Amino acid sequence: MIGPGVEVRQFDASELPPVNVREVWRYSGCRTVPEDENMLSLMDEVLTDYSGIARGKVCFARARELPFGTESKDLSRVITGCSEVVVFAATVGMEFDRVISKYKRTMPSKALFLQALGAERVEALCDLFCSGFEGHTPRFSPGYGDLKLETQRDVFALLQCEAKIGISLNESLLMTPSKSVTAIFGIRGGSCE
C-alpha cells in the first residue's frame, strides 16, 4: 500500500455537486422530463425535502497494483499502464433507506423518486471523489462487464467498509445502505490533490 492504508473522507450534503435533475428523472425510468403536472410536482417535493439528506462517506486504499486477484480483462484494460490503483467504497448513508422504506407502502411513486435521487447522489459522490485524483481513469465496479460481483468480498476485506464507513455486505452481495457503491480506478501518472 501507498500511504497509511485505508483512508476515510466525509462530505456534507453542501459539498456534493448540485442535484442533476435530469439524472434523477433518468434513474426513475423517464428518458425525458415528463409533462404530467402531478409527477413534476411530486419530483419538486422530493427534491426540496430530501436533496440535503445525503451525507457522503468514502473509504479507499491506494496501491501500485490491484491488491487482490481478478480474472477481469475489462478491469485490466482500465488499469493497465497506471502508476496507481484506487479501490474505494462510497455511501450517502442510511437516511435514504429510511425515507424510501417510509413511503414504499403509502406513496410508491414518491419512494421511486427517492430511490432515483439516492442513486444520483451516490453517483455524484463517486464523481466528486474521483475528481480529486489527477489522471484518473473511469471507475469500474464489481458486477460490471466481466468483473465478477464476488469481487465485492475482496473490496470489503481490503477496506473494512463496515468498520470504516458503516457499509455492510450480505450473503447475496448486496450492500446496506443501499445507496452505496464500490469501485476501482487507475491513476495515470497523477496524484491525489
Residue 120 belongs to a domain: yes
We report the CATH number of the domain holding residue 73 as 3.40.109.40
Residue 192 belongs to a domain: no
Residue 103 belongs to a domain: yes
Span 141-188, pLDDT tens digits: 999 999 999 999 999 999 999 999 999 999 999 999 999 999 999 999
Residue 69 belongs to a domain: yes
Model confidence at 4, pLDDT cuts 50, 70, 90, reads: very low
Span 61-114, pLDDT tens digits: 999 999 999 999 999 999 999 999 999 999 999 999 999 999 999 999 999 999
This prediction's pTM: 0.91
pLDDT at 1 over 50: no
| Mean pLDDT score of the chain | 92
Helix H or strand E encompassing 180 = strand 180-187
Residue 1 belongs to a domain: no
Angle (nearest 5°) at CA 93 between 150 and 86:
50
Reduced to 3 states (helix: H, G, I; strand: E, B; else coil), residue 68 is coil
Residue 83 belongs to a domain: yes
**According to the model, what pLDDT value does residue 189 have?**
76
Helix H or strand E encompassing 57 = strand 56-63
Span 153-163, pLDDT tens digits: 999 999 999 99
DSSP category for residue 52: G
Angle (nearest 5°) at CA 75 between 89 and 79:
90
